[in-house]
A and B are shown apart, each in its own frame.
Chain A
């Protein structure tokens, strides 16, 4: 996993509650056996017509948000299916951060394992961010994982909580499996003691 650096980028609003992983990446793209190339299918049914042409009313097709790397969404973002294709597609499309009041547990976990940062912020702040993306042209945020801050042109507007260990892993691009394998002896001891 690449190290997570401070991200400064354009913000796109997708403000609905309960955006599930079926919307983020519909099932017809899950038969592929690769880990890459899913950006083309991100929000497929919302973003594209059946003939592949863009739907003009969908927010990510709005030129104002072209090239956005930060997504602001409603509560329970990424609920539903465990498909890791969801963070893969967001990352491949160009997003590095998703800000929402809450996230589906599995999606949250999957995102951290891939260097996509899910930032939980209070609903009031999320509402304000959404408004700013709509009223301020080119509204951008800086997400500083080191200091756990979200800042716009006016300065720091929020701080966020994240598990210290996860933060450390993201900042250093550490491999989970490698870390667990440092406990190889303990795993083996557990297996023999528990008869597994």
Chain B
């Protein structure tokens, strides 16, 4: 009896030896400008070649501007980094989806959208949110630059087997509660290090009922719970999403692939080192209040007071967070005013996210004290949203409508919070300074961010008056 994780592991085992890490084959290597230059340089210095350029794909996302991308970058160092990626891809024969391509986008939006992500694959990228691809039943995880170089040179990684962690989410999601709230609720439950050393398999009826976009949102933030990776067993929803994508198998290959993918489920009675059950009916929209992704509360709750801290160390963390976030203990969440709203990132920038947010926005204007922007996950999504009329809704309401990129999720470009600014953000990390030095990030779902942009403070989107 094997878990899904064990099955994928076993199918990629190149070499195993007692007392040493195993050698695991990597099916797909995604690269971007920030974590690859030193790896390419390492190859060059050692006189090694890139073993499988045909399994390596690049795009540009982290440090690029989301306006005027055709003009020279304002930041000469970022410009040099992008130029370096272009040169490296040319020299080593890697296919690069550059800024002039419709396919360009955030690497974890791009891969699935192009059909590069298949169930059962092993996928790595020098980016911790590689866990996103686990939504397809692929074993996908982030690696550092040394490992990027290792994969370049060998198409393998030295790995130790992780533990199995199952999270069952059962029941129907209440209205206004989204996949983002599922994962924020899970992280709240297990803690920011609850998944360390584990691969999480998300299962249960709620997960089954999610779209691929929703599943990607859940798996994306596995790393925020400390997990090595997140996995969801592939099913018809998965196959339907992959089908017809540019790099999806075609014809007979497709039939063979699907037959194989259908075997990618956890066998009944498999052993899990850890199991957590979540009741979907008890979930609400979540809002983070602190500077760690597990520091969240339900929208109907208040900022926790010190009586909620588990120990003395946590008392000190809470005190530090109140101060950094400019919040008072027991302050109601819907009394928190925001200055900025950011809808985007590899967590929540897909077409479904934009459709949901647009429904909330339709017929409203954003608050005059809020600066809000929508940054689609790829240029393809941008175009689709324009064709569907979503862009018009956002623009008419006062949102800025940007080009694809990581943007203010990590603020490596000029999309950045000013000190003290407070942001309702659909991204994945509320760390100190993540969106700009002194910036205050509250993680929420796209519909919660949209509603906050309109009212100027957090509101319970379950009570939203939709204008059709």
Query: Could you list which residues of chain A lie within 8 angstroms of chain B, going by C-beta atoms?
Result: 15-18, 20, 22-23, 26-28, 30-35, 45, 50, 74-76, 79-84, 102-106, 109-110, 113-114, 163-165, 176-177, 179-181, 183, 186-187, 190-191, 194, 196
B193 x A79 contact (CB < 8 A): yes
Chain B stretch 38-97: residues in CB contact (< 8 A) with chain A: 38, 41, 46, 48, 52, 55, 62-63, 75, 77-78, 80-81, 84
Looking at the complex, which of B110-118, B144-152, B168-176, B335-343 is the stretch in contact with chain A? Answer: B144-152
A106 x B142 contact (CB < 8 A): yes
B226 x A79 contact (CB < 8 A): yes
Q: Assuming A79-B192, A80-B429, is B81 touching A33 (CB within 8 A)?
A: yes
B196 x A177 contact (CB < 8 A): no
Complex interface bits, B214-250 against A, C-beta within 8 A gives 1, otherwise 0: 0000000001001010000000000000000000000
User: Interface range on chain B: under 10, 10 to 19, 20 to 34, or 35 or more?
Assistant: 35 or more
Q: Which residue of A lies closest to B128 (CB)?
A: A82
Q: Which residue of A lies closest to B27 (CB)?
A: A196
Q: Assuming A26-B437, A177-B154, A183-B23, is B78 touching A31 (CB within 8 A)?
A: yes
Complex interface bits, B138-172 against A, C-beta within 8 A gives 1, otherwise 0: 00001111110110011110101000000000000
Name the distance in Å between B75's Cβ and chain A's nearest Cβ. Answer: 7
**Once bound together, how far apart are the Cα atoms of A32 and B412, in whole Å?**
12
Q: Assuming A23-B431, A76-B192, is B144 touching A180 (CB within 8 A)?
A: no
Chain B stretch 193-211: residues in CB contact (< 8 A) with chain A: 193, 196-197
Complex interface bits, B316-330 against A, C-beta within 8 A gives 1, otherwise 0: 110010000000000
Interchain residue pairs with CB less than 8 A apart (10): A17-B313, A18-B192, A33-B41, A45-B437, A84-B145, A103-B196, A105-B228, A165-B20, A177-B149, A183-B14
B421 beta carbon closer than 8 Å to chain A: no
Query: Could you list which residues of chain B lie within 8 angstroms of chain A, going by C-beta atoms?
Result: 11, 14-15, 19-21, 23, 25, 27, 34-35, 37-38, 41, 46, 48, 52, 55, 62-63, 75, 77-78, 80-81, 84, 126-128, 142-147, 149-150, 153-156, 158, 160, 192-193, 196-197, 223, 226, 228, 292, 313-314, 316-317, 320, 410-412, 429, 431-434, 437
Name the distance in Å between A103's Cβ and chain B's nearest Cβ. Answer: 8
List the 10 shortest-distance A-B pairs measured between CB atoms, nearest first. A110-B144, A84-B144, A33-B37, A76-B193, A113-B146, A82-B142, A84-B145, A82-B128, A31-B78, A31-B77
A186 x B23 contact (CB < 8 A): yes
**Once bound together, how far apart are the Cα atoms of A17 and B320, in whole Å?**
11
Name the distance in Å between B261's Cβ and chain A's nearest Cβ. Answer: 15
Give chain B residues whose Cβ lies under 8 Å from the Cβ of A187: 14, 23, 25, 154-156
B27 x A26 contact (CB < 8 A): no
A176 x B158 contact (CB < 8 A): yes
Name the distance in Å between B146's Cβ and chain A's nearest Cβ. Answer: 4
A82 x B437 contact (CB < 8 A): no
Q: Assuming A30-B34, A33-B38, is B23 touching A180 (CB within 8 A)?
A: yes
Q: Which residue of B lies closest to A26 (CB)?
A: B433
Give chain B residues whose Cβ lies under 8 Å from the Cβ of A74: 313
A81 x B128 contact (CB < 8 A): yes
B433 x A22 contact (CB < 8 A): yes
Give chain B residues whose Cβ lies under 8 Å from the Cβ of A16: 316-317, 320
B55 x A113 contact (CB < 8 A): no
**Once bound together, how far apart are the Cα atoms of A18 and B83, in whole Å?**
35
Give chain A residues whose Cβ lies under 8 Å from the Cβ of B143: 82, 106, 109
**Once bound together, how far apart are the Cα atoms of A183 and B142, in whole Å?**
24
A102 x B38 contact (CB < 8 A): no
B35 x A177 contact (CB < 8 A): no
Give chain B residues whose Cβ lies under 8 Å from the Cβ of A191: 25, 155
Q: Assuming A82-B35, A176-B150, is B15 touching A33 (CB within 8 A)?
A: no
7 more A-B contacts (CB under 8 A) besides A18-B193, A105-B196? A27-B412, A28-B412, A104-B196, A106-B223, A109-B147, A176-B150, A187-B154
Give chain A residues whose Cβ lies under 8 Å from the Cβ of B35: 82-84
Give chain A residues whose Cβ lies under 8 Å from the Cβ of B41: 33, 35
Name the distance in Å between B230's Cβ and chain A's nearest Cβ. Answer: 13
Q: Assuming A45-B437, A104-B196, is B128 touching A196 (CB within 8 A)?
A: no
